[in-house]
Structures are given as structure tokens and as C-alpha cells.
Structure 1
Amino acid sequence: MAYDLQKESDVKEYLEKLGVEYRFGCYSEKKPEVCHLLGDYLESIKKDFEKASKVYKSNCDDYGYAKSCYKFGNYSFLGKGKSGSKGDPQQAYKYYEKGCELNDPESCLHSGLLLVSRAMPKQLQRNVPKGVEFLTKSCDMNNATACFYLSGMHISGVQKQAESNVHAPSNNSSEYIIHKDMKKAFDFAYKACELKNMYACANLSQMYARGDGTERNEEKAEKFKKMALEMQEEVKKQQQTLGFQQGLLPN
């Protein structure tokens, strides 16, 4: 049957049929990729976050579907899907870690960030070396944000004190968990920029201008500065387009 997606009745019928197909593919055919689509359908179309949460959790636990582990990790961290529930960082970390073990780059990013953060949730113990392992795995799988964070950590180094002055200068190298290493910082920034991280491109421009982690090169400094500015303009255009489209939606 052909649907006219300009007609509200056809759209409604199409979406209902889509939900039936996803339920069949998940519950009858037991296809994990379809179960994940069902979770997305319940989340974005039906706005039934409680059911979506259950589908993501089950799909992670029963089928080891990495993207569902990541989604349920997000739900756990935010307390989403349970009425009146507070976030559970410990459970979120558990599912992020599982998603990372299953090679989901976003799961590796989030499990790493939880472990290296200065504002660690009290339910978790800060573990910078393990966090860096997760971030490195994410970066190796071409997650631009992970590469950018790793670059920043190597620009300033990370001190052992979790409570305060984590990035403050120190002359005692034994106080550092991650030592300042501008060559590594440059390499991570370069990869993050290649992966279209605007902030990494801006940092790369400064590194070339100053000769930090690489030889000074004014031409390349200008090149990456231009790239960062072009990305910034593209982000602004996308935000303006999105705002315009939202303004056209009926109340």
C-alpha cells in the first residue's frame, strides 16, 4: 500500500504499521537490531520512555546489542523511564562498560568520561588510567570527542588529586597520573580534527602557531584556523535551519 505522507491519517496508519512490524521482528523473530529499532520507535514516536527503557535493557542483557547497552546507560544516568526515579550513575556505568566491551564507541566515550571526571558521582570511584583506556578505545574507533578529550588531558596533564587543582601546574612529576605530552596531545588533536571536531581544529591551529608538539608552521596554523571557522559557521547554519523548521511546526 502506498502512503501519502502529506496526509495526517496516512502518516498515523504508517507509523502504527511500523510499530507492529518492529514488535513482530523483535518478539517473534528475535532480531536484536529490530528490538533496538522498537526501542527507538517507543522513544521517539510513542514517547513511552518506560517501555523504551525496558526494551533497551532487555536487548542489551539478552542479546548483547551494544547500541541498546549505550541507550539504557543513558536512561540510567538520567533516571529516564521510571517515574520519580533519580539517576543511577553506577548502573549507567555498568551498561556503558558492557557496551564498550561490545565495541560501541559512544559507550566507551561515556564510560571513560565517568571515570576521569573531576566531578565524579559519589557512587563511582575515579579511575583515570582505566578511563583513558576506554577513551583511547573510543578514539581508535574514530570517535572525535574521545580523541579531543585525550588531547586536552595530555596538554595539561592530570594530577593525582581528584578533589582540586587537577589540572594545576606542578613541578613534581610524581604527582601526575597522566603526564603532559604535547606530541601525544598534537596527535590526538590531529585525529579529532580529521574527524570534524571543531575545537580540535582550533587547538591544532594554535599548536602549529606555537610549535607545540610539532614544528611551527604558520601556513598550517592558518589552514586549521580556517577549517575551525568554517565548521563553526556550518553549526550556526544548522541551528538556524532547525529553529526555522521548529517554528513551522503546528502548535
Structure 2
Amino acid sequence: MAYDLKKESDVKEYIDKLGVEYRFGCYSEKKPEACHLLGDYLEGIKKDFEKASKVYKSTCDDYGYAKSCYKYGNYSFLGKGKSGGKGEPRVAYEYYEKGCNLNDSDACLHSGLLLVSRSMPKEIDRNVPKGLEFLTKSCDMNNATACFYLSGMHISGVQKKPEDTAASSSGGSVISGVNSTTTASKTPKESEYIVLKDMKKAFQFAHKACELRNMYACANLSQMYARGDGIEKNEKEAERYKKLALEMQEEIKKQQETLGFQQGVGMPN
């Protein structure tokens, strides 16, 4: 049957049919892909986060479907779909790690960030070496954000005692870019670092992240070329990556404006 998606009645019928197909594929045919799509349907169309959470969890537990592990990790971290809405960081980490072991790059990114960050919940024990492994795996799978964070970690280095410097977390140095500086009163020894400062590695990770369309990595790359940090100084390349970062920024701005317009128009119930 052909649907006229300009007609509200046809849109409603089409959406309802999708739900039936996903339920049949999940519960009758036992297809994990259909179960995950059912979770997405319950989340995005029906806004039934409690049921979506249960579907993602069972699809991860019963079928080892990596994307569902990642989604249930998100739900657990935010407390989404749960009475009271209280997050469970420890449970979230377990599902992120499971998703990472099943080769989902976003799950690797989030499990890595939970382990390396100083600002994450106390339920998570900081483990920078293990977190670095997860982030590296994510970057190897072409996750731009993971590559970006790895670049930042090598720009500032990561100390064994994070309170020794304001720039020791992976997030702090990354967001503020190459210009970030350490506020410690004395220069730490190499033995005090878990991850050594290494501008060559920082450049390599930033370059990959930029090629994968991470705007902030491109901005950092521009500064690295301008200063000769981790790469030979090259004003032409610095200007090229600066222009690329600005173009990406403009693209994101236009996308946000379009999304805001679409939300304002509204969709039929």
C-alpha cells in the first residue's frame, strides 16, 4: 500500500504499521535488529521511555546487541524510564562496557569517559589506563569524539593525582583547546603522569578527529599548525583548518535553526 505522507491519516496508519512490524520481528521472529528498532519506536514515536528501557535491556541481555547495550547504558545513567528518575552510573558503566566489548564505538566512548574523568559520579572508580584503552578502541572505530578526547589528554597529559593540576581531566584541556595551561605551582615529573604530554600524538589524534568532522579538533589543528605544536609550523595549513572549523560551525548553526523550525511547526499526533 502506498501512503501519502502529506495526509495526517496516512502518516498515523504508517506509524502504527511500523510498530506492528517491529513487534512481530522482535517477539515472533526473535530478530535483535527488530527489537532495537522497537525500542527506538517506543522512545521516539510513543515517548514510552519505561517500555523502551525494558526493550533495550532485554535486547542487550538476551541477544548481545551492542547498540541496545549502549542505549540502556544511557537510560541507566540518566534514570530515564525509571520511577523517580534516579540515575544508576554503575549500571550504566556495566552496559557501556558490555556494548564496547561487542564493538559499539559510542559505548566504548562513554565507558572510557566514565573511567578517565574526575567529574563523574563517585560510584565509578577512576581508571585512566583502562579508560584510555576504551577511548583508543572507539577512535580506532572512527569515533570522532573519542579521537578528540585522546588528543586533549595528550595535549595536557594526565597525572596520577588529578588534584595536582586543573588540566588533568580529559575534558578540561580538550574543550579549552591548545591554549589551555596548567595551574600547578610546580612542574610535575614524568613519573607522576599516567599519560605523558605528547604533542605529536595529540596532533595525530586531532587530525583524525578533524577528518571525521569534529569541529573542535579542526580548530585545535589550526592552532597546532600555527604554533608548530606536534607538527612543523605551516601558516597555510593553519588557515585551511581554521576555515574548515568555521564552515563546520556554520553548518551546525544552520542545522539547529532548521531543527528549531521543524519543532515549531509540529507533527500530527
TM category (shorter chain) comes to over 0.9
Q: CA deviation at 1:162?
A: 3.3
Show the counterpart of 1:203.
220
Give 1:6 shift.
1.6
Q: What's 1:100 paired with?
A: 100
C-alpha displacement of 1:40:
0.2
Residue 15 of structure 1, CA deviation: 1.2
1:166 Cα deviation (Å)?
4.8
Aligned counterpart, 2:179: none
Residue 118 of structure 1 deviates from its aligned partner by 1.0
The alpha carbon displacement at 1:8 in A equals: 1.6
Structure 2 gap segments, 5+ residues each = 168-181
Answering whether residue 204 of structure 2 is matched by residue 187 of structure 1, we say yes
Output the CA distance in 2 between the equivalents of 1:143 and 1:202: 18
Alignment deviations for residues 30-59 of structure 1 (CA, whole Å, 9 cap, x no partner): 000010000000001111111100000000
**What residue in structure 2 maps to residue 120 of structure 1?**
120
- 2:27 is equivalent to residue 27 of structure 1: yes
Contact 1:159 1:166 in 2 (8 A): no
User: RMSD value over aligned CA atoms?
Assistant: 1.3
Corresponding residue number in structure 1 for 2:67:
67
Give the SS at the match of 1:213.
coil
Q: Distance in 1 between matches of 2:267 and 2:196?
A: 54
Look up the SS of the partner of 2:47 in the other structure.
coil
Q: Which residue of 1 aligns with 2:80?
A: 80
Greater RCO, CA 8 A, separation 6+: 2
Gaps of 5+ in 1: none
Matched with 2:36 is 36
Is 1:173–2:199 an aligned residue pair?
A: no
Query: 2:238 corresponds to which residue?
Result: 221
**Structure 1 CA distance for aligned equivalents of residues 228 and 163 of structure 2:** 32
How far residue 250 of structure 1 moved from its aligned partner, in angstroms, is 6.5
Match of 1:150 in 2: 150
2:129 aligned counterpart, secondary structure: helix
Letter of the 1:71 partner, please give it: K
Q: Cα deviation per residue 1:171-197 (whole Å; 9 max; x = unaligned)?
A: 322111111000000000000000000
Distance 1:76 1:89 in 2: 7
Deviation at 1:18, TM superposition (A): 1.0
> Is residue 244 from structure 1 mapped to residue 264 from structure 2 by the alignment?
no
* Partner secondary structure for residue 84 of structure 1: helix
Q: How many residues align?
A: 251
Query: What amino acid sits opposite 2:122 in the alignment?
Result: K
Q: Deviations over 1:8-28 (max 9, x none)?
A: 222111111111111000000
1:46-94 deviation per Cα after TM superposition (whole angstroms, max 9, x unaligned):
1111110000000000000000000000000000111213100000000
Could you tell me which residue of structure 2 aligns to residue 52 of structure 1?
52
Question: What amino acid does structure 1 have at the position aligned with 2:242?
Answer: K
Task: Note the C-alpha offset of 1:219.
Answer: 0.7
Is the 1:117–1:126 contact (alpha carbons within 8 Å) kept by the matching residues of 2? Answer: yes
Partner Cα distance (1:216, 1:61) in 2: 51
Q: Take 1:107 and 1:17, find their aligned partners in 2: how far apart are those partners?
A: 31
Runs of 4+ in structure 1 deviating by more than 3 angstroms, as ranges, are none
Q: Distance in 1 between matches of 2:267 and 2:148?
A: 39
Q: 1:76 to 1:209 in 2, by over 3 A?
A: same
CA 1:147–1:250 in 2, change beyond 3 Å: closer, same or farther? Answer: closer
Q: Give SS of 1:177's match.
A: strand
1-structure distance, mates of 2:151, 2:193: 16
- What TM-score comes out, normalization by structure 1 length? 0.97
Distance 2:154 2:240 in 1: 23
- Structure-2-length-normalised TM-score: 0.90
